[in-house]
Every structure is written in structure tokens, then in C-alpha cells.
Amino acid sequence: MTNESAAQNGNAADDKQIPSFAVKAGLAQMLKGGVIMDVTNAEQARIAEEAGACAVMALERVPADIRRDGGVARMSDPAIIREIQEAVTIPVMAKARIGHFVECQILESLGIDYIDESEVLTPADRTYHVEKHGFKAPFVCGCRNLGEALRRVAEGAAMLRTKGEAGTGDVVEAVTHVKQVRADIARAQAVLASEGEVGIRALARELEVDASLLKRVAEEGRLPVVNFAAGGVATPADAALMMQLGCDGVFVGSGIFKSGDPAKRAKAIVRATTHFRDAAVLAEVSTGLGEAMVGINCDSMRPEEKMAGRGW
């Protein structure tokens, strides 16, 4: 359990008014059923907004390029973020490195609507994620299982997403992660039913999570905050698959602007996310989309090439 004080985070609780958790988590609830798209400039941001994106993620490079270029991946240049904020009226998110609370302070000062503490960038701390309660801006974090999910919520994350495997165009890891979270929740429910609080405490030790949070999840049968799919979603069918698996919405990273016709594909993924159970609509929007991003098969990757292993 992380126990950094606000002061260690550089967030001395001075006169700054921190919005309540309900306000932070509430924006995520308003993003549900929507598609959040990675964009690298104002022009792409406008294409995303016109296609019906419910928010954009302002980046210097999309994950596929970060993966190709290698080296250290950091927070974007504020000039790019400001340019994108000026271009659109929908919420603008941006990524900070895991544990890099100063990047988060900078993003907050820019008026970013959601900070993604993201494994897609190079982690800045081997031990701690950012202590997120002390920020005015809400945070979204990645997870591969219920343990990671609840550790992030305990640190103050107001929204979750699957990690998937960003920049690959292969949805297999996102599917694995959302199913793992579901299986973990089912297990917590079974433990609560059969062994009660004692069982929950034992499971909380095993998962390394807060027992009261785990109990709440077991009682409600769902995560305490909104959970989107991310990491490898490249087609309307991928988006609908993640929605049918119970995700609340979809992040699309490289999948749109690394494809042949970004505007058309973006629109198609938005419609597929709304009408995710309507196969006739899905067939219609999947038709004639041009080339999808080439993609990388996750099974052909070496473990150290995967971004999802970053964070804990």
C-alpha cells in the first residue's frame, strides 16, 4: 500500500480546492458508451470530434510510433496539448509517466480534463504510482486484474481502463485483461458468499488490495469506477467486442490515425460502440473501411517488449 503524503507529492494542501471524488468519477460516467481517441495535433483532434469522439487523448506520438522509436517516452510538449485544447470542445486527456507526479502537476496546470498515468510512457518510479487524491484533475489508470484496479482506485484513480497491449492493433491482451478482472470479481463474490468478511480479508491480502474496497466490489459485483477498454482496439468489431464483454467505453490509440481512412474508421468505431449489440449496424459500419493498421501479433512479442508489464 502506498502511503506518500500529499507534501511528498508536491501537493501541499494549501488553498487549492480539490473537487470531490464524485465530481472526478462523474466525468468518467459521462464518457460511458463513448470512444476516446489518441490524437497528435489539432487537425486530428478535429477529425475525432467530428467523428463523435467523447474525448481525445493529446499525445506527441501514438503508441505504435512510441513502440517503433524506442527510447524514453515522456509527457507531451504542452504546446501540442494547448493546440489540441484550443481546437475542440470535448474533454482533453493527456498521459503522464507512472509515478511522475510533476508531469501530473504540469498537466493539471494546463487544465487537462483527465490525466492518464500510463504504462505506454516510460515509468518514472519503480515503487510508487502517483498518489492521486491531492490533484484537482481526475486520473485514469490501466489494469490487468482486480488487484491492480483496486490499488489504483485506493491511490485516487477515478476511472480505469484495461492495459491491453498499446500500439499493436491486437485486441487479445485487452480481452484477457477484462476477462481477468471479471473472473476476479466473480471470485470475490463467491468468497464473500461462502466465507464472509474473513474470506474477503484473506483475499484482500492475496490480491494486495484494501479489504473494504474489495468487499464493496464483491457486494456490487462491479468495479467501483468506470472501466474502459484500451490497448489494441483497431476495428468497429473490436470496440463492440469489448462493450459486449462489459466495458463501459473504448479508448482507440493507434488504430485510427494509423489506418487508411481515419475519419471513416473513427465514425464507424463510434457507431459500433453505441450499437454494440446490433450486428446489422456492425456489419454496415465495418464495410469498406480501407486498410486497418498493420499491427503486431502480441504472441510474437518478447515479454520485455510488452508495455502492459509496466506498473504493478
Partner 1 sequence: MPTLTIGVLALQGGFEEHINHLRKAAATAYPSPSPYQFNFIQVRTPSQLESSKGLILPGGESTTISLVAAESGLLEPLRDFVKHRRNPVWGTCAGAILLADEANATSTKKGGQALIGGLSVRVHRNHFGRQVESFIADLDLPFLSSSPSAEAQQPEAEVETAAAASSSSPSTPSPFQAVFIRAPIVEAILPIASESTEGGAESGASPLPVRPPVETLAVLPGRKHRAGFSRPSESDAPDAIGDIVAVRQGNVFATSFHPELTDDVRIHVWWLREVVRAVEAAADEGVGGEKTRGPVPVTSV
Residue tagged active-site, from 95, 215, 258, 267: 95
Contact between 220 and partner 1 per CB under 8 A: no
Distance CA 204, CA 124 (A): 27
Task: Select from 274, 286, 306, 310 the one that contacts partner 1 (CB under 8 A).
Answer: 274
Under 8 Å CB-to-CB from 80, ≥6 apart: which residues? 40, 41, 58, 59, 60
* Cα–Cα distances in angstroms (integers) from residue 302 to residues 91, 126, 177, 309, in the given order: 35, 21, 18, 11
Q: Is 95 a catalytic residue?
A: yes
Distance CA 282, CA 266 (A): 13
**Least Cβ distance, residue 3 to partner 1 (angstroms):** 26
Q: Which is nearer to partner 1, 108 or 155 (CB)?
A: 108
Subset of 95-114 contacting partner 1 (CB under 8 A): 108, 111-114
Contact between 91 and partner 1 per CB under 8 A: yes
**Least Cβ distance, residue 51 to partner 1 (angstroms):** 7
- For residue 69, the one-letter residue type is D
CB-side neighbour CA atoms (13 Å) of 211: 12
Q: Grid coordinates standing for 62?
A: 501514438
Contact between 31 and partner 1 per CB under 8 A: yes
Under 8 Å CB-to-CB from 101, ≥6 apart: which residues? 9, 10, 11, 130, 131
Q: Which is nearer to partner 1, 32 or 310 (CB)?
A: 32
Q: Which stretch binds partner 1 (CB under 8 A): 45-53, 197-205, 252-260, 300-308?
A: 45-53
Contact between 27 and partner 1 per CB under 8 A: yes
Q: Is 260 exposed, middle or buried (0-12, 13-18, 19+ CB in 10 A)?
A: exposed
**Least Cβ distance, residue 195 to partner 1 (angstroms):** 29
Contact between 265 and partner 1 per CB under 8 A: no
Decide if 139 contacts 154 (C-beta within 8 A).
Answer: no
**Least Cβ distance, residue 127 to partner 1 (angstroms):** 28
Which parts of this chain interact with partner 1 (CB under 8 A)?
19-20, 22-24, 26-27, 29-34, 46, 49-55, 87-91, 108, 111-114, 136-138, 267, 270-271, 273-275, 278
Query: Could you list the active site residues?
Result: 95
